[in-house]
Structure 1
Amino acid sequence: MKLLALDTATEHMAVALVTAPGTALTRNLPGGAAASSQLIPQVLALLAEAGLPLSVLDAVAFGQGPGAFTGLRTAVSVAQGLAFGAGLGVLPIDSLLLVADDALAQAAGDTVMHQPGWVLMDARMDEIYAARYQHDGRGWHVLTAPALYDLTTLHTLWAAEAPAWACGSALTAFDGRLAPGTARCWPHIADRAAALARLAEAALQVGPLLPAEAALPLYLRDKVALTTAEREAARRASAA
């Protein structure tokens, strides 16, 4: 098993090269604007470190989102270009599930993750990318697919069914306004690239591979910025 995996959906760039089952070279680096110029050099550096040409890989995995508009385009375009050039298939990876899998590693065997919980990532514009997952001890199950939420909707959902755990950047970004009850919380990610390697390896085992032209990002919003009036209204609402 030899597999390259890329994710630039957040302000953190993750790159992983799986060289054998359970074995990977990984990089966690600043993302955002730096991702477009640094992703390919980091990929080439990992391949050189492993002594592997791209052509011997089994597939290229990529974080499909949801996440930042430009970041998603970066990972998808690089994965697609590499796969086309080497004649490889691609594997889309749920970028929110990366956060859940990292929290699972931080939980260090705590069975709370075997109950339903939420990944909550700051989507800006006072909204949250969120999804509900559960780990059964062998693998992940998607209970509620990634979607874009406001605070009111999430709190309404949690009033009906409180989450056992929650993780993601929104727990910090919303500064106490996001309250998942008594859920165990992991607001910070520890090793996104290691989680990416694990999920990419699992995805390759399950399959199927997609053709390179099927590498597409998961966008959850069409509007990517607020107007000046909308920003001012949001500021007043937050202050109130």
Structure 2
Amino acid sequence: MNLLALDTSTAHLSVAVQHASRVWTYSGAGGAQASTHLIPTVRSLLAQADLSLDALDALVFGRGPGSFTGVRTACSVVQGLAFGARGGLGVAVLPVDTLLAVAEDARERCGCTQVVAVLDARMDEVYSARYEFGEHGWHGSGDFAVCAPEAVQVPEGWTVAGNALNVYGQRLAPHARHVDALPQAQALLRLAPRLLARGLGQPASAALPLYVRDKVAQTTAERAAQREKI
């Protein structure tokens, strides 16, 4: 299977290309720099893999939740690449939840199969979701939460995976096992075959972001109240 996978939902930029059984990867600084480096990186990896966009079976990307700017960057780049391939006929896109990719990255790192995936949502909050891995792959509740780190509920024996522990420390499930994990492009590649087999590949127009938090800006009064708490 020939795939291009990318994620720009965190401060970490991750891109990978799969040509049959071989994989080429790139990891670097994301955030505000992602939009500058993303397309040149994609072109470089495709060239290394001796692939063209037309030869891809799908473009896989982390659709969110995550950085609003980062998620929009991924969607716009994937949509543009997909629309432009095959003389305008397009290539399928596969939107993947970033928290699912975090769970898969944690499974690859430590073998955990019951994961509470958690990403820093800023504004003193985290994004979280629960996933279990079994015979048919990952199964999640489908519910995403955005809440204070203290409010994340972790069942006994489950692993907390993500990047939020580095930010919130003991405020986040202090008695649970923690694994550093990110929505890596390699994790997206591992998830893709099963998701594509389920018919989840979509046209380029479906390269849309997943937003969990509706409000991303505070009023002047809210910012002043927040400063008074410090």
With normalisation by structure 2, the TM-score equals 0.89
Structure-1 separation of matches of 2:120 and 2:134: 27
Structure 2: which 5+ runs fail to align?
none
Alpha carbons of structure 1 residues 188 and 231: separation in structure 2 relative to 1, 3 Å: farther
Q: How does 1:11-90 map to 2 (within 5 A)?
A: 11-21=11-21, 23-86=22-85, 87-90=90-93
Residue 170 of structure 2 is aligned to residue 176 of structure 1: yes
Structure-2 separation of matches of 1:117 and 1:147: 14
Q: How does 1:159-170 map to 2 (within 5 A)?
A: 161-162=155-156, 164-170=158-164
For 1:10-59, what per-residue CA distance to the aligned partner results, in whole angstroms no more than 9, with x for missing partners? Answer: 111111111114x3111111110111111110010011111111111111
Match of 1:91 in 2: 94
Structure 1: which 5+ runs fail to align?
none
Q: Is the 8 A contact 1:24 1:197 kept in 2?
A: no
Give the total of aligned pairs: 226
Structure-2 separation of matches of 1:176 and 1:233: 24
Counting aligned pairs with the same residue, the percent is 50
Report the CA distance between 1:69 and its aligned residue. Answer: 0.7
Residue 210 of structure 2 is aligned to residue 218 of structure 1: yes
Structure-1 separation of matches of 2:221 and 2:179: 34
Alpha carbons of structure 1 residues 163 and 226: separation in structure 2 relative to 1, 3 Å: farther
Q: Is the 8 A contact 2:150 2:172 kept in 1?
A: no
Report the CA distance between 1:163 and its aligned residue. Answer: 5.3
Structure-1 separation of matches of 2:126 and 2:42: 30
- AA aligned to 1:59 is A
Structure-1 separation of matches of 2:201 and 2:30: 26
Q: Is the 8 A contact 2:5 2:186 kept in 1?
A: no
With normalisation by structure 1, the TM-score equals 0.85
Q: How does 1:60-209 map to 2 (within 5 A)?
A: 60-86=59-85, 87-107=90-110, 109=111, 113-114=112-113, 116-136=114-134, 139-154=137-152, 157-158=153-154, 161-162=155-156, 164-181=158-175, 183-189=176-182, 192-209=184-201
Q: Is the 8 A contact 1:134 1:143 kept in 2?
A: no
Q: Is the 8 A contact 1:120 1:169 kept in 2?
A: yes
